[in-house]
């Protein structure tokens, strides 16, 4: 790296199809747009999003079987490449980031980011994951910047790890608004959306208990008894067999499709009649922000954290209690009968624009004023 060049590094366990990974891919693009040489460093360069790495970004595979065992490789990367700053996300990756800094003698800035509500994560995680989260809190004290993706996450992060709240910055997850508009111009190759005969409700997220698609299926069964509609769920995960069984028990299989993981969801969001988030908890759900950016009407559970903050306490979309199929069905029906797009959502989406969020991250990394044209 020359004296004039600037390098940004992002460290992740892998590029599997998760929300944090999507955020980091966007941030890598944002840093490249700002004139940085960007390295996306992964413990294992595998996962559904591997094909979405920006062509300007150098993807580095540490070839480690676990995040912790990537520590020597990450330390070696820092010694050899000396980026201006390195950013990580998720507790185990954050811990490795900060340990690698110490091990390598790296003198740049190390930033960590937290994307989940810790009180809920600690309640649901295994003992090993519980210890990982607790351990990360000790190391966060040595970070140059601590970032939380919502105000509630920042509050819980400070309380859980006894950190000075003044050291934690709230920076929202970004969305690429021009790319969303471009990708949403044409409907996806799905018969329900290309030749629409009934309203289509969309849900996007991994098929896990956290996303609670079971409550969504029960709500859809209630809705369909009053209003003809279809439900399209994008995502893959361990709950697929249970969800397929539940759909059959509810006798809604002909109007429900579990369409699997989709690399690109913007066209689905743009051409659906309603987006529904049914989660038990979230960090700051990117899919909800993307739905607003597409102008889609939105119904969401009022879960910790993110939805109420994103939707401005209901101004930009309907909020319902967690795990309440009846309330969810009523809100879905009201949204479908109201029809139209979501102008308040389009306005709100501007607050999450990639360029704006990139500037905030660069400020957190001590790079404010150095953003150039890409």
CB 222 within 8 A of CB 252: no
First to last CA, the chain: 17
CB atoms within 10 A of CB 263: 9
State the architecture of 178-351 in CATH terms.
3-Layer(aba) Sandwich (3.40)
CB 114, CB 95: distance < 8 Å: no
Yes or no: is domain 7-174+353-364 CATH 3.40.50.2000? yes
Q: Which among 85, 15, 18, 79 has a CA at the least distance from the CA of 51?
A: 15
Q: What six digits make up the tokens of 331? A: 């809100």
Cα–Cα distance measured from residue 71 to residue 227, given in angstroms and rounded to the nearest whole number: 54
Residues in the chain predicted with pLDDT less than 70, given as ranges, are 1-4, 17, 118-130, 132, 368-374
Note the pLDDT of residue 371: 47
User: Distance between CA atoms of 31 and 23, rounded to whole angstroms?
Assistant: 12
Q: How far apart are CA 119 and CA 342, in angstroms?
A: 33
CA distances from 278 to 100, 208, 209, 216, 219 (A): 38, 11, 10, 6, 10
Binning the chain into helix, strand and coil, the percentages to the nearest 5 are 45, 20, 35
Please tell me the predicted confidence (pLDDT) of residue 160. 83
pLDDT per position as a tens digit, 56-100: 999 999 999 999 999 999 999 999 999 999 999 988 999 999 999
Q: Which residues pair with 114 in a beta bridge?
A: 148
Q: Which two three-digit tokens encode residue 328?
A: 């969810």
- Tokens representing 280 are 């038990």
Asked whether this chain's domains 7-174+353-364 and 178-351 adopt the same fold, the reply is: yes
Per-residue pLDDT at 1: 45
pLDDT tens per residue across span 29-49 = 999 999 999 999 999 999 988
DSSP per residue over 315-354, as a string? TSSEEE-TT-HHHHHHHHHHHHHH-S--HHHHHHHGGGBH
In the chain, domain spans? 7-174+353-364, 178-351
- The pair of structure tokens assigned to 284 is 């700051």
């Amino acid at each position: 790296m020359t004296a004039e060049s600037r390098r940004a590094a992002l460290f992740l366990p892998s590029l599997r199809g998760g929300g944090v990974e999507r955020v980091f891919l966007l941030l890598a693009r944002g840093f490249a747009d700002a004139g940085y040489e960007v390295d996306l460093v992964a413990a294992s360069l595998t996962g559904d999003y591997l094909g979405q790495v920006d062509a300007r970004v150098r993807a580095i595979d540490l070839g480690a079987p676990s995040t912790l065992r990537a520590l020597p490789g990450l330390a070696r990367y820092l010694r050899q490449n000396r980026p201006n700053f390195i950013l990580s996300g998720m507790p185990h990756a954050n811990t490795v980031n900060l340990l690698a800094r110490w091990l390598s003698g790296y003198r740049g800035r190390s930033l960590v980011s937290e994307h989940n509500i810790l009180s809920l994560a600690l309640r649901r995680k295994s003992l090993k994951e519980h210890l990982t989260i607790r351990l990360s809190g000790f190391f966060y004290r040595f970070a140059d910047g601590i970032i939380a993706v919502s105000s509630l996450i920042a509050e819980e992060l400070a309380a859980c790890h006894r950190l000075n709240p003044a050291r934690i910055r709230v920076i929202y997850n970004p969305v690429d608004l021009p790319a969303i508009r471009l990708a949403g111009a044409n409907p996806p190759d799905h018969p329900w959306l290309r030749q629409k005969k009934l309203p289509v409700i969309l849900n996007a997220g991994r098929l896990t208990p956290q996303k609670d698609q079971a409550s969504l299926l029960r709500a859809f069964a209630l809705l369909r008894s009053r209003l003809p509609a279809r439900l399209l769920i994008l995502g893959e995960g361990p709950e697929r067999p249970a969800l397929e069984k539940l759909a059959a028990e509810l006798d809604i299989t002909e109007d429900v499709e579990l369409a699997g993981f989709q690399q690109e969801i913007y066209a689905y969001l743009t051409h659906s009649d309603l987006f529904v988030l049914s989660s038990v908890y979230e960090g700051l759900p990117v899919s909800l922000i993307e739905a607003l950016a597409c102008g889609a009407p939105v119904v969401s559970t009022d879960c910790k954290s993110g939805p109420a903050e994103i939707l401005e306490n209901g101004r930009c979309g309907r909020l319902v209690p967690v795990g309440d199929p009846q309330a969810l069905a009523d809100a879905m029906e009201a949204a479908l009968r109201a029809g139209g797009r979501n102008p308040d959502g389009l306005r709100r989406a501007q607050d999450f624009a990639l360029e704006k969020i990139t500037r905030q991250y660069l400020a957190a990394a001590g790079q404010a004023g150095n953003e150039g044209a890409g």
